[in-house]
Structure 1
Amino acid sequence: MDKLKAIVSGYYGKGNAGDEALLLSLLQMLPPSITPIVLSANPTATRDSYGVETVPRRSLFPLLKSFRESDMFIWGGGSLIQDVTSFASPFYYLSLMGYAQKLGLATFAWAQGIGPIKAKLTQRLTASVLQRCKGLSVRDCASAKLLEAWGISCILAPDPVWTLSAQPVKQVWEIRAPRVAVNLRPSAQLTPERLEHLTRALIDFQKATNVSLLFLPFQSDQDLPLAQRVATQLPGAYQILSLQDPRALKGVFRGVEMLIGMRYHSLVMAASEGCRCFAISYDPKVKQLQQELNLPGWDLTELPDDPNLISTVWLKEYTNGDALELTQIQSLIDRAWLHQQIFSIQQGACL
């Protein structure tokens, strides 16, 4: 039987380590009978990094050609369908999926985090498109409940990045121990005042513990300037590691004691490697993950005004906090592979 071609659409080629990790996780779950064609903002980099065929995600004629030549369309994970951070983004992804369905391609929504969706029009369009999918999996309970309210069945499993293999990073072990990782990202809720409180708290925390602080930008164009701004005010040892390979980023957490993290996948990677986590939530998906894993943390909007209180709480977690149990980590990894099941019907769906 000839191989099936599948267009894979997501937030790829944008330099976001979380989305690149999702792409890697998807590629390892695809059956050998499926050849992926990845829509990317940087097709050359995606092709060179992962050895896959790529198409520019916003070039009309190459896109149309890839649709005509394909059998399947896959939404490749993450919070693609939400209108909190971008009103236009869900329409881009919905349009691609709708066009694929119009052409008769078998469509799959893989490892999605759906919502929040505030606009009624977006809700109706999303429900209509998802109802016509051949297979659908989501990564959190809130998404599953939303689909249930729409009368749509799905597979619920942890984020696929739990399954991603980590690569050791030699330079981490060259940094003086003990080490604590920090991941910050810009957000409308991260006001200058709150950033100042976090910076002051990191200074106090480092003085109290004598740790080396390891800053991990997950999207360099956004996170790196913020890391540099905070790190240069520290009294002690620090390093900023800008790593492109998500497997290496995940490997960093094998050499640190704790993560203070904002980005969703920084927390997933750290927790999966047995690292203690403290979440700073800027988005409902982070809050959802925090609740499901019972991680300590704050919403940015509830961040204490007192840097001393913040550092004291961090110190308590650093001294007495616990990482996830190994049995819990293995259970999350095993269940994350359930996302692969939506492809078990792919041959019949595409005949």
Structure 2
Amino acid sequence: MRVVISGYYGFGNTGDEAILRAIVNSMKSERPDLDIIVLSNNPAETAKMHDVKAINRMDIRSIWTTLSHSDMLISGGGGLLQDVTSFRNILYYSGIIYMAWLLKKPIMYYANGVGPINIGFNRLLVRNISNKAQVITVRDLLSKRQLDEIGVKTDVFITADPAFLLKVPEDINVEDIYEKEGIPLNNKILGISIRKWKNFDYVKEALKDFVNKVRNIEDFNIVFLPMQKNEDLRACEEISRDLERSYVIKGNYDVYEVLGIVSKFDYMIGMRLHAMIFSVLNGVPVIGISYDPKIDNFFNIIGQQYLNHIDEVNSERLLNQFLDVVMHKNEISRCLKRKAEELRQKAMENNKIAFSVLERQRWLHD
């Protein structure tokens, strides 16, 4: 059986690569002979990193040929169907789905985050294209509500982000990574995952002021974690250079290595969704800065209240939240580990649904 996977892959975004790693590993663990072909911005890197076949995501002729010889299209996971970051997202992913439909291939949305979809034409397009799918799984209730609101009739199941299936392998030497980066492990670590967004200068100053206030109470090493180097590295460096004993992870690391890096954090301040998912997987208490409804929704899912909207971030609020987190660290950590296991079980449902679609396809062919 051959599956084609479409998503935001090959762009150097650790979160999306974590999604792909989890999908590929979990599907192949159940079906080792499964042939997986990924549409990627960097096919050679994707093929090497994930041990799959990969083709250029913009080579329409090659995509058509590949889909024509496949048994199923998986679209996802991640926040593909939204028009906040770009109008082109919906056009591109809808186009791939439409090709699969023309070729009469079964289509599954795999743990998608859907919305916000603000433009009327996009809402119409997503409704029409989503109704061509055999089944849809979404990673949160907000995504299901968005699909319901625009009139999608395909069955929609709420599961969880595939990244919750990840665990740090025993052969990953995290201490070596920290040594390579020149980061001492002789002190507690406050991890920060930041990205540039509106009001960045304001957020930058709030974070610097917050770190200095924290250090008046207890000393920490600060470790900045860029989740997408071409977008996050400069933002991290702009803040880090004005802080003592502050470090920026600059090397290129595998998904499991980044998960291992986070395992050494004592606390995290996060904007990037999958940096915060990595925190939950490691039981690391996290304080969020929300720039997108998916972050608000994530905090609802994990049952945590330490969230700041990007327009309202200030150092005093961050400090008060942080002191509360420190006071309840053990309790929060236990809660996050329980929640991670609960979400891991939900994430496993994606594969059950995917294989049921594949089995139906094989039965029809037989």
Tell me the TM-score range normalised by the shorter chain. Answer: over 0.9
What's 1:187 paired with?
197
CA drift at 1:160 = 1.2
Instruction: Using the TM superposition, name which of 117-126 and 71-80 deviates more.
Output: 117-126
Matches within 5 A, 1:317-328: 317-321=325-329, 322-325=332-335, 326-328=337-339
What's 1:62 paired with?
62
What's 2:162 paired with?
160
Q: 2:322 aligns with which of 283, 305, 314?
A: 314
2:258 equivalent to 1:258: no
Q: Deviations over 1:7-62 (max 9, x none)?
A: 11000000000000000111023252531110110111111111111101112332
Query: Unpaired runs of 5+ in structure 2?
Result: none
Query: Is the partner of 1:201 in helix, strand or coil?
Result: helix
Cα–Cα, structure 1 residues 147 and 132, in superposed 2: closer, same or farther, change >3 Å? Answer: same
State the AA in 2 paired with 1:302.
E
2:299 equivalent to 1:302: no
Q: 1:341 aligns with which of 341, 344, 352?
A: 352
Aligned CA-pair RMSD: 1.9
State the AA in 2 paired with 1:8.
I
Task: Give the distance between the partners of 1:229 and 1:126, measured in 2 at CA.
Answer: 38
Task: Give the distance between the partners of 2:342 and 2:93, measured in 1 at CA.
Answer: 31
2:343 equivalent to 1:332: yes
Instruction: Using the TM superposition, name which of 47-56 and 166-175 deviates more.
Output: 166-175
What's 2:20 paired with?
23
Task: Give the distance between the partners of 1:196 and 1:181, measured in 2 at CA.
Answer: 17
Q: Give me the identity figure in percent.
A: 25
Contact kept, 8 Å, 2:287 with 2:321, in 1: the verdict is: no
Task: Give the distance between the partners of 1:95 and 1:277, measured in 2 at CA.
Answer: 37
Task: Give the distance between the partners of 1:231 and 1:206, measured in 2 at CA.
Answer: 14
Matches within 5 A, 1:1-351: 4-30=1-27, 31-32=30-31, 34-149=34-149, 150=151, 151-167=153-169, 168=172, 169-170=174-175, 171-172=177-178, 174-188=184-198, 190-295=199-304, 296-304=306-314, 307-321=315-329, 322-325=332-335, 326-343=337-354, 344-350=356-362, 351=365
Task: Give the distance between the partners of 1:310 and 1:275, measured in 2 at CA.
Answer: 17
Instruction: Using the TM superposition, name which of 215-224 and 325-334 deviates more.
Output: 325-334
Task: Give the distance between the partners of 1:246 and 1:253, measured in 2 at CA.
Answer: 11
CA drift at 1:241 = 4.9
Task: Give the distance between the partners of 2:246 and 2:145, measured in 1 at CA.
Answer: 45
Task: Give the distance between the partners of 1:239 and 1:219, measured in 2 at CA.
Answer: 13
Task: Give the distance between the partners of 1:286 and 1:21, measured in 2 at CA.
Answer: 17
Task: Give the distance between the partners of 1:328 and 1:157, measured in 2 at CA.
Answer: 13
State the AA in 2 paired with 1:108.
M
Contact kept, 8 Å, 2:71 with 2:358, in 1: the verdict is: no
Contact kept, 8 Å, 1:276 with 1:324, in 2: the verdict is: no
CA drift at 1:122 = 1.4
Contact kept, 8 Å, 2:135 with 2:154, in 1: the verdict is: no
Task: Give the distance between the partners of 1:197 and 1:237, measured in 2 at CA.
Answer: 16
CA drift at 1:324 = 4.6
Query: Unpaired runs of 5+ in structure 1?
Result: none
Cα–Cα, structure 1 residues 104 and 309, in superposed 2: closer, same or farther, change >3 Å? Answer: closer
Task: Give the distance between the partners of 1:215 and 1:261, measured in 2 at CA.
Answer: 10
Contact kept, 8 Å, 2:269 with 2:288, in 1: the verdict is: yes
Query: Is the partner of 1:209 in helix, strand or coil?
Result: coil
State the AA in 2 paired with 1:348.
R
| TM-score of the superposed pair, with normalisation by structure 1 | 0.92
CA drift at 1:109 = 0.7
Instruction: Using the TM superposition, name which of 115-124 and 259-268 deviates more.
Output: 115-124
Q: Deviations over 1:243-286 (max 9, x none)?
A: 42111111222221111000011111101111101011111101
Task: Give the distance between the partners of 2:333 and 2:301, measured in 1 at CA.
Answer: 14
Contact kept, 8 Å, 2:302 with 2:339, in 1: the verdict is: no
Contact kept, 8 Å, 1:147 with 1:153, in 2: the verdict is: no
CA drift at 1:187 = 1.0
State the AA in 2 paired with 1:317.
V
| TM-score of the superposed pair, with normalisation by structure 2 | 0.89
Task: Give the distance between the partners of 1:308 and 1:327, measured in 2 at CA.
Answer: 30
Give the total of aligned pairs: 345
State the AA in 2 paired with 1:155.
F
State the AA in 2 paired with 1:66.
T
